[in-house]
Structure 1
Amino acid sequence: MMFDKEICCLLEHALGEKMDNLTVNIHDSNKKGAGYLGNLCFITLKNKQTNEETHLVLKQVMSSGGPKSLEFNSTVFHNEMLFYNNIWPFLLNFQHVTTGNVLNIIPRCYASCSKKGTEKLILENLSFQSFHVCDKTVPLDKAHLEYIFKTFGQFHAMSFACKALNPEKFDELTAPLKNIFDYFLNGTLFFKNSMNRCFKFIWDHLESNTPETLSSKLREYSEDGPNLYSRIMNYNGRNQVLLHGDCWSNNMMFKTDGHGKVVDMRLIDFQMIRKGTPVFDLSYCFYSSASKESLRELEFFLKIYHDSLSQCLKTYNCEAEMMYPFGVLKKEWKEYCKFGFMMGMICWEQKLRYEVGIRDLSKIIDGDKSEMQKPRLFDAEKYRNITRDVLDHMYCNDFL
């Protein structure tokens, strides 16, 4: 495979070497369904003089499609580039200057190209550092969820501290971000159709002994899901933080020791980044990943998150009980966890879909009816079991 001049320039910039001094090995590209909003290519560059190897991921905007999907793909890439080029470098420096530490939970970005229609990012390949993605068809175990909630406590603490100590800069950095969820809901029918289909499936498979109050609640989601989603997807309260935005398990990579214990993790794919309540990130992750056993331990995971947030805020000389008390977290969870619940119902169908059932998102955005009408093939029995557990949890805790 030969790279075009633009990619070669980016690679040379990333390594500070001319391509003539490097040997190039192309490993693979992302499988269908693994990179919905971009094309990935995995590269190893070897210095001919030193034999030093650098393992990279080339992430490119999808360049095929109609005007609507091309505009959308450019928008999500610019969101991600804003994060890697502007927001994250500032937050890292802010943390270093304020606390003397840096939070290493984001892959390194070596270079980027923002030219519309040809957007690209060069990122470090975490797979060569023993990081891996968990099996998306299996709920995450308690240890993984603990580590995730702890990490989000650290990640969100940077926002709370930055807002307290440099609010103008925080607003300046985050103002250009686009709310991709708003586009999904209002710019295309596929998201509404996906939501309606998921809740209709759940409704159609309710057990005969389902309590009438639960049945009535679910009917609202089945008949009016998009409007319910619209009312809770945005947040303008005082507890806004920078969100990862799209925190299902495929956007997290973990490192484990020889005994399978989680020792490190990275957050990847920041195309859906935006501002909002921490509950948006936490509930999205929880309801798209948690097992039946973990669902029963919500309070435990919220405590893990808040303890981590508190410890991290102390390094900035800030107090969590002044900025985001545990009681406020629980109150906002009850009000806004519906966002995560609804995303989880859509996400589990995606996670359990067979490869032959994966459809082309760009074609759907462009309104390709034949693509939209393709059958959605997924593990229906597993989906029924998982969503029933989540639904029971939501009902028993009065979250619906």
Structure 2
Amino acid sequence: MDSEGNPEINITPPEEIGFSLTKEFLEKALDKEVEKFSTNIGTNPGDNYMSIMHAIEVTFKGEKKSHHCLIKCYPNHPGRREFLDQIDVFNKEFFMYQDFLPQLKQLAVDSGAEKIVDLSVAPIQGGNIVGQTSKFTEKPWSDENFILMTDIRKTFGFTMANRIKGLDLDHAKLVLEEIAKYHALSWAYKQKNGLDLLTNKYPVYRDFVYENEALWKDFEQLMDQMSDNAFNMTEETLGADHPACKSLRNAMNKESFNRMQKYVGKNGINEEEIESYLRIKPEQDKDYNREPWLLGTHGDCWVNNMMFLYNDEEPKKPVKITLVDWQVIREACPTIDLAYFFFSSVRAPIRIPHLDDLLKVYHDAFIRYCDALTVTPLPGFTFETLKRRFRRAEIFGLLVGLPLLNVVLKPPEESIDMDTVKSDQIVDLFASVVDGSDKNTLLQDEISATVLNLYEKGVI
């Protein structure tokens, strides 16, 4: 085991990655003469489902200090490869690292706000998207998709938080500041470039997950199984006659997928329609601004896609965060990112009593960053409006969060190496990941507390 608890397992690059990870390859990518290098597994089973990560330690000629990189690439499993192709994840992430995130950082510089809106981004050295040319050569490096980046764990000391435990208030506030930073930058980019929609300039910001009905059709049986688990767990905790159980069944019905689609539509959320899904509707307000909020969202804001840097004091506190895994970006309402984050990464005993305070952190940060970037915030953006829009986004958080928690709260000792699953079908792979969730008491407690809270608030 290494110092971070990762197994020291050597790999055979040509067979595992699909192209030769050679001295010549690294010299081209890193623009230095390589003395020696070695490779190990980059993540533990259960930490990454959308790709395979390999860690590289390289020493350059004339230097004594080693340098650490990660290469992110396609898995071997044919079902996973087909799934990744359908949702275009590598193209999205490479676009973000190579193109859009640098533009956002430059926007902050041009606005004189780089010390205030200092978005943290993991450096990349290069990559390849099949069918596209590379900035290093006139043709792609290989017939495989990959991204080569600095390993910010070994290089700077970043680490992941505990996904089972979830984030405490210090971590959650830091995350919300960073999400607000990215949201404000993407919103400022639209304003300063005269864009009604980001997708008009960058089609890669279209949603490729929920618009793919054929893909979700394949997952129907698995989704039904996870929904049944959620129902059973809630009934066991609250009692089958509790009205929250009936409300949960009404919320997670056969229309669930269509509802999720409505949250990520190209032209934003129809406020009136979405609020009709709430059990207790908000009060009528003739002055309420129903204009859609649309900006660049991360799309996958859960704890394993966040890397934290800590101070040297005891007890240690997080002082910096870097968002990683920009694979499912979409132009959408910012409350979608917030709901996804809260329901996946902040456990109910922290989230429920502190929700308003945490939303205020996001609200104040977004206003502060927009001011620094000299742009007007989103239309009608007030704290009360944010709370109202977040409340209806909690339905999305419920529909997405409950299935996701089956993965998030799976004990590490039960984690599955998905490339070892025999079936070629992606649905069977995910079924193996959630297998045994119906016996997970931590999952039961989290789901029951969440459902009860949403019922008491009149969301469901």
* TM-score, normalising length: structure 1: 0.89
**C-alpha displacement at 1:182, in angstroms?**
1.5
For the pair 1:324 / 2:381, whether they are aligned, the reply is yes
**Which whole-Å CA distance do the structure 1 matches of 2:46 and 2:75 have between them?**
13
**Structure 1 pair 332–363 and aligned structure 2 pair: CA distance change class (3 A):** farther
**Which whole-Å CA distance do the structure 2 matches of 1:333 and 1:282 have between them?**
8
**C-alpha displacement at 1:305, in angstroms?**
0.2
Number of matched pairs: 398
1:146-202 CA-partner distances (Å, limit 9, x unpaired)? 111111111111012112111349445532334232266541445433432222112
Consecutive aligned runs of 4 or more in structure 1 exceeding 6 Å deviation: 361-365
**Which whole-Å CA distance do the structure 1 matches of 2:389 and 2:422 have between them?**
34
**Which whole-Å CA distance do the structure 2 matches of 1:270 and 1:166 have between them?**
22
**C-alpha displacement at 1:368, in angstroms?**
6.6
Match of residue 12 from structure 1: 27
User: What is the correspondence of 1:237-248 to structure 2 with a 5 Å cutoff?
Assistant: 237=268, 238-248=292-302
Larger mean Cα displacement after TM superposition, 65-74 or 38-47? 65-74
Which of 137, 148, 160 pairs up with 2:164? 137
Match of residue 341 from structure 2: 285
Match of residue 314 from structure 1: 371
**Which whole-Å CA distance do the structure 1 matches of 2:422 and 2:214 have between them?**
14
Match of residue 265 from structure 2: 234
**Which whole-Å CA distance do the structure 2 matches of 1:319 and 1:199 have between them?**
41
**Structure 1 pair 359–125 and aligned structure 2 pair: CA distance change class (3 A):** closer
Which of 393, 398, 412 pairs up with 1:336? 393
For the pair 1:396 / 2:456, whether they are aligned, the reply is yes
Larger mean Cα displacement after TM superposition, 28-37 or 250-259? 28-37
Q: 2:55, 2:68 within 8 Å by CA — same for their partners in 1?
A: yes
Which of 158, 176, 180 pairs up with 1:149? 176
**Which whole-Å CA distance do the structure 2 matches of 1:313 and 1:371 have between them?**
43
User: What is the correspondence of 1:25-104 to structure 2 with a 5 Å cutoff?
Assistant: 25-65=38-78, 69=82, 72=85, 75-101=88-114, 103-104=118-119
Counterpart of 2:205 in 1: which secondary structure?
A: coil
Q: 2:50, 2:84 within 8 Å by CA — same for their partners in 1?
A: no
Larger mean Cα displacement after TM superposition, 107-116 or 200-209? 200-209
Match of residue 118 from structure 1: 144
**Matching residue's letter, 2:307:** M
For the pair 1:180 / 2:208, whether they are aligned, the reply is yes
User: What is the correspondence of 1:210-225 to structure 2 with a 5 Å cutoff?
Assistant: 212-224=242-254, 225=256
Q: 2:299, 2:329 within 8 Å by CA — same for their partners in 1?
A: yes
**Which whole-Å CA distance do the structure 2 matches of 1:233 and 1:37 have between them?**
21
User: What is the correspondence of 1:191-202 to structure 2 with a 5 Å cutoff?
Assistant: 191-202=219-230
1:116-170 CA-partner distances (Å, limit 9, x unpaired)? 5500101111112111111111121111111111111111110121121113494
**Structure 1 pair 74–83 and aligned structure 2 pair: CA distance change class (3 A):** same
**C-alpha displacement at 1:222, in angstroms?**
4.2
Counterpart of 1:103 in 2: which secondary structure?
A: coil
**Structure 1 pair 267–370 and aligned structure 2 pair: CA distance change class (3 A):** closer
Match of residue 274 from structure 1: 330
Q: 2:68, 2:150 within 8 Å by CA — same for their partners in 1?
A: yes
Counterpart of 1:99 in 2: which secondary structure?
A: coil
Match of residue 252 from structure 1: 306
How many percent identity over aligned positions?
A: 19
**Which whole-Å CA distance do the structure 2 matches of 1:357 and 1:5 have between them?**
29
**C-alpha displacement at 1:235, in angstroms?**
5.9
Relative to its length, the structure with more helix (as a share) is 1
